[in-house]
Amino acid sequence: MKKNIVLFVLFILPIVAYLFFASGVNGFTKLPTITPNTADLGNWQSLDGQKVSLNGKVTILGFMGTELLKNRGNLFNLNQKIYQRYHEFKDVQFVMICPTGTEKDAKKVVDALGAFTDVAQWRFVFASTEEIATYYDQLKLVEKLDENSGTPKVYIIDKKRNLRGRKLVKDTKEGYNTFHPAELSNEMLDDFKVILYEYRAALKKNNNATRKI
C-alpha cells in the first residue's frame, strides 16, 4: 500500500498537476472580444499636440468627463496599479478622452503624475461632448456615460482596435472601475497580462517560423 502511494506521489500526481495547470493556461491565453473594430480617434487635439491613434497599440481607454480634477484620484489609482508596471512597453498607451475646455485641468493632472512617474505613455485627447458621446456609443457598451460625459471605468483596446474583456456566465466584463484599486490589482491586471501574453506568444511563434524558413 505504501509503495503504491509513493509511486502515485512521484509519478501520477505531477502529471495530473501539469495537465491541470496547462489547461488553465490554454483557457486564458485569449481574452474575449466584446466589440470588434472600434473607431480610431481621428484628428482630435491632444495635450502635447501630437496625433494619437489606437492602431498598433495596446490601449487603456478612459473617458474622464468635465470633472477631471474632481476624479483625478481614479487616474492615480490606475497609475499606481497598472501604468507604472507597463509604461516602459513601447506599444502600450493610456489614452484619456476629455471634453474640450478641460485642457488646463488635464495639464495639472499630468504635472502631478510627472512628479513621480514617467508620463510619456499618458495621452489626453479632447473633443466636444457630442463627439465623445458618439464615439462612446459605437463601443456598444451596456453602461452609459454620466451627465459629465465621463465614467470611472477604463477599457482595454487591442492593437487591431478590438475592445476586449470578460464574457462571464451571466454577465460581461466590459471595463474596470478605477475607483476601486482592488479591481485594478486583480481583474484588470490579470486581463492586461493576458493581452500582453497573446502578443508575446504570437511574436515568439513568428520568430520561430522565420528561423525555420
Range of the domain at 190: 33-212
Its pTM stands at: 0.82
Please state the separation of Cα 126 from the chain's center in Å. Answer: 20
9 in any annotated domain = no
Q: Grid coordinates standing for 97? A: 478622452
pLDDT digits (tens, 9 = 90+) for 71-87: 999 999 999 999 999 98
Flag whether pLDDT at 15 surpasses 80: no
If you ran DSSP here, which 8-state letter would residue 32 be given? P
Tell whether 194 is covered by a domain: yes
The beta strand positions in 40-165, using DSSP E, are 45-46, 58-64, 92-99, 122-127, 150-157, 163-164
Asked, for residue 86, whether it belongs to a domain, the answer is yes
Q: How far apart are CA 145 and CA 64, in angstroms?
A: 10
Answer whether residue 50 shows pLDDT above 90: yes
For residue 168, how many other CB atoms are within 10 A of its CB? 9
Question: Is 26 part of a structural domain of the chain?
Answer: no
- Find, among 210, 206, 183, 172, the residue nearest to 33 by Cα: 172
Looking at the domain assignment, is residue 58 inside a domain?
Answer: yes
pLDDT at 18: 43
Task: Please name the residue that has the C-alpha cell 502511494.
Answer: 5
* CATH code of the domain containing 67: 3.40.30.10
Dig out the grid coordinates for 176 from the structure: 474596470
pLDDT of residue 59: 98
Q: Is the dihedral of CA 13, 15, 16, 22 positive or negative?
A: positive
Q: Using alpha carbons, list the distances in angstroms from residue 156 to 83, 100, 109.
A: 13, 23, 22
In the predicted structure, residue 207 carries a pLDDT above the cut 70: no
For the chain, what percent of residues have pLDDT higher than 90?
71
The x, y and z cell numbers of residue 18, run together, are 501539469
Domain annotation covers residue 162: yes
Q: What is the mean pLDDT of the chain?
A: 86
The count of structural domains within the chain is 1
96: helix, strand or coil: strand
- The answer to whether position 96 is within a domain reads yes
- Would you say residue 211 has pLDDT above 80? no
197 burial (CB, 10 Å; 0-12 / 13-18 / 19+) is middle
Residue 4 lies in a domain: no
Mean pLDDT confidence for 170-188: 91
Q: Is the pLDDT of residue 14 over 60?
A: no
